[in-house]
């Protein structure tokens, strides 16, 4: 069968207040087109469907219409898991109806899927807790679901008392117990794989800063023919032997972000996974930072920027910008999302101040600080007391 791995849709995302829904509608339409032209049988959505736990009606509408179009009239099976941005109960709400269209949404580790009557060529023949079995002619595949679940929500007895990563691995093993030798196996998971590469600071994924604590070693996950990961926004293969891939987000989330796309692959029980291919998305708007030194330079550069680029414009100059200039620029160039100003004079003053301060003794620094805050010079006794305290700390060290 042919599979499409997509992750981190972040529907309802705003960038510096700019709504991205129009762009996201185009991206979702492109996913449907890819499925049709590439004859995809199974779609894997690896979490972070929405940007917020309480998505707007428009964002929810876009999600529901997209998965309905992806599934077609039982043309394809759509598998969805919750990411850390999604509210589990909210995302799960449509599951009873969705399953009738061969759309399986897993938001908690206790979810038991059911099979409904099948009419299409791609059929769901078996389902249970955290897995489904798909059949197309002689080709059989088992999909295991491992949604993002916060530490406190992992209740099952065998995992109680374990550290976070071991709990995730224990759940993954329970799901992986359904993988069979004579079926292609695929694990769909939203997690932070240890040693995965993040792009820039990736400020949108707070977990990364906690690092090792919340990360999982991919080699501890059950053996599968393919591991479809979500959570990290940069496309990459994290572990070649396990065929563990992040497809990356399908929208640029930060300025100067990495190339966005989806992963297409094929596989059968006999051949294993083959033809893994990163497919760039055409409808994604680039997010770009521009630095200029004058209004004239800004106008000149912006004239050559494509209409769909989203720009953070920074002025580095000596004088502030007038509000009429800012208004004029924003009206003329819709690409501008935000305008920043870095005053050269302030930069110079700051660096002069710092080098001046470096030459002062701690008593002089204290005197200057006191005078600035209180408006009067400190009494000599106070300065002496401060000096004595400073000596004390020097001894202690
Ligand atoms: Mn994400």
Beta bridge partners of 127: 132
Residue positions counted in the chain = 397
Residue that wins the pLDDT comparison between 211 and 139: 139
Instruction: Please give the distance, rounded to the nearest whole angstrom, from the Cα atom of residue 248 to the centre of ligand 1.
Output: 9
DSSP calls for 238-278? EETTTTEEE--BSS--STTPPP-EEEEEEEETTTEEEEEEE
**What average pLDDT does this structure show over 47-56?**
95
Residue-level pLDDT at 368: 86
pLDDT bracket for residue 394 (50, 70, 90): low
Residue that wins the pLDDT comparison between 335 and 204: 335
Angle between the N-to-C axes of helices 57-71 and 21-37, in degrees from 0 to 180, rounded to the nearest 10: 10
Instruction: Please give the distance, rounded to the nearest whole angstrom, from the Cα atom of residue 261 to the centre of ligand 1.
Output: 14
Instruction: Please give the distance, rounded to the nearest whole angstrom, from the Cα atom of residue 253 to the centre of ligand 1.
Output: 9
d(CA 259, CA 257): 7
Instruction: Please give the distance, rounded to the nearest whole angstrom, from the Cα atom of residue 49 to the centre of ligand 1.
Output: 8
Task: State the DSSP code for 122.
Answer: S
Residue-level pLDDT at 397: 47
Instruction: Please give the distance, rounded to the nearest whole angstrom, from the Cα atom of residue 48 to the centre of ligand 1.
Output: 5
Instruction: Please give the distance, rounded to the nearest whole angstrom, from the Cα atom of residue 271 to the centre of ligand 1.
Output: 32
C-beta of residue 336 within 8 angstroms of C-beta of residue 329 = yes
Residue 354 has pLDDT above 80, yes or no: no
Residue that wins the pLDDT comparison between 42 and 155: 42
pLDDT bracket for residue 296 (50, 70, 90): very high
Does domain 2-280 correspond to CATH entry 3.60.21.10? yes
* Full-model pTM: 0.84
The residue extents of the domains of the chain are: 2-280, 287-345, 362-396
Residue-level pLDDT at 390: 83
pLDDT bracket for residue 199 (50, 70, 90): low
Residue that wins the pLDDT comparison between 117 and 206: 117
Residue 220 has pLDDT above 50, yes or no: yes
**What average pLDDT does this structure show over 352-358?**
76
φ/ψ of 99, rounded to 5, equals: -60, -30
Instruction: Please give the distance, rounded to the nearest whole angstrom, from the Cα atom of residue 310 to the centre of ligand 1.
Output: 20
φ/ψ of 188, rounded to 5, equals: -110, 115
C-alpha count within 13 angstroms, C-beta hemisphere, residue 305: 24
Instruction: Please give the distance, rounded to the nearest whole angstrom, from the Cα atom of residue 115 to the centre of ligand 1.
Output: 30
Instruction: Please give the distance, rounded to the nearest whole angstrom, from the Cα atom of residue 179 to the centre of ligand 1.
Output: 27
Residue-level pLDDT at 252: 95
Instruction: Please give the distance, rounded to the nearest whole angstrom, from the Cα atom of residue 46 to the centre of ligand 1.
Output: 10
Instruction: Please give the distance, rounded to the nearest whole angstrom, from the Cα atom of residue 360 to the centre of ligand 1.
Output: 48
Residue 203 has pLDDT above 50, yes or no: no
Instruction: Please give the distance, rounded to the nearest whole angstrom, from the Cα atom of residue 388 to the centre of ligand 1.
Output: 53
Instruction: Please give the distance, rounded to the nearest whole angstrom, from the Cα atom of residue 112 to the centre of ligand 1.
Output: 25
d(CA 319, CA 325): 13
d(CA 35, CA 42): 9
Residue-level pLDDT at 213: 61
């Amino acid at each position: 069968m042919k599979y499409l791995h997509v992750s981190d849709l972040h529907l309802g995302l705003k960038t510096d207040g700019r709504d991205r829904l129009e762009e996201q509608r185009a991206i979702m339409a492109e996913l449907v087109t890819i499925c049709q032209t590439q004859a995809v049988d199974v779609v894997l959505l690896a979490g972070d469907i929405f940007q917020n736990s309480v998505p707007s009606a428009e964002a929810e509408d876009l999600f529901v219409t997209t998965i309905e179009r992806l599934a077609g009239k039982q043309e394809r099976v759509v598998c969805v898991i919750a990411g850390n941005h999604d509210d589990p109960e909210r995302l799960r709400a449509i599951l009873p109806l969705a399953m009738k269209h061969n759309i399986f949404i897993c938001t908690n580790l206790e979810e038991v899927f059911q099979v409904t009557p099948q009419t299409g060529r791609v059929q769901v023949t078996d389902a249970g807790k955290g897995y489904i079995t798909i059949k197309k002619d002689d080709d059989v595949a088992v999909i295991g679901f491992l949604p993002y679940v916060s530490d406190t929500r992992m209740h099952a007895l065998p995992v109680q008392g374990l550290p976070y990563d071991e709990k995730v691995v224990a759940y993954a093993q329970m799901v992986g117990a359904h993988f069979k030798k004579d079926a292609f196996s695929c694990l769909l998971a939203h997690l932070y794989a240890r040693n995965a590469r993040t792009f820039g600071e990736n400020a949108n994924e707070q977990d990364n800063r906690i690092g090792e604590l919340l990360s999982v070693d991919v080699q501890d996950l059950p053996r599968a023919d393919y591991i479809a990961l979500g959570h990290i926004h940069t496309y990459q293969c994290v572990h070649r032997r396990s065929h563990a891939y992040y497809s990356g987000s399908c929208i640029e989330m930060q300025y100067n972000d990495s190339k966005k796309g989806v992963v297409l692959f094929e596989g059968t029980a006999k051949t294993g996974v083959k033809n893994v291919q990163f497919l760039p998305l055409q409808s994604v708007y680039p997010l770009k930072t521009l630095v200029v030194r004058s209004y004239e330079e800004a106008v000149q550069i912006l004239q050559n920027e494509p209409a769909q680029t989203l720009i953070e414009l920074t002025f580095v100059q000596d004088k502030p910008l007038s509000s009429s200039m800012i208004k004029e620029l924003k009206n003329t160039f819709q690409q501008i999302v935000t305008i920043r100003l870095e005053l050269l004079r302030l930069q110079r003053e700051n660096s002069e101040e710092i080098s001046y301060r470096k030459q002062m003794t701690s008593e002089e620094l204290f005197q200057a600080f006191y005078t600035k805050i209180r408006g009067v010079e400190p009494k000599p006794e106070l300065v002496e007391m401060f000096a004595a305290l400073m000596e004390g700390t020097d001894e202690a060290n």
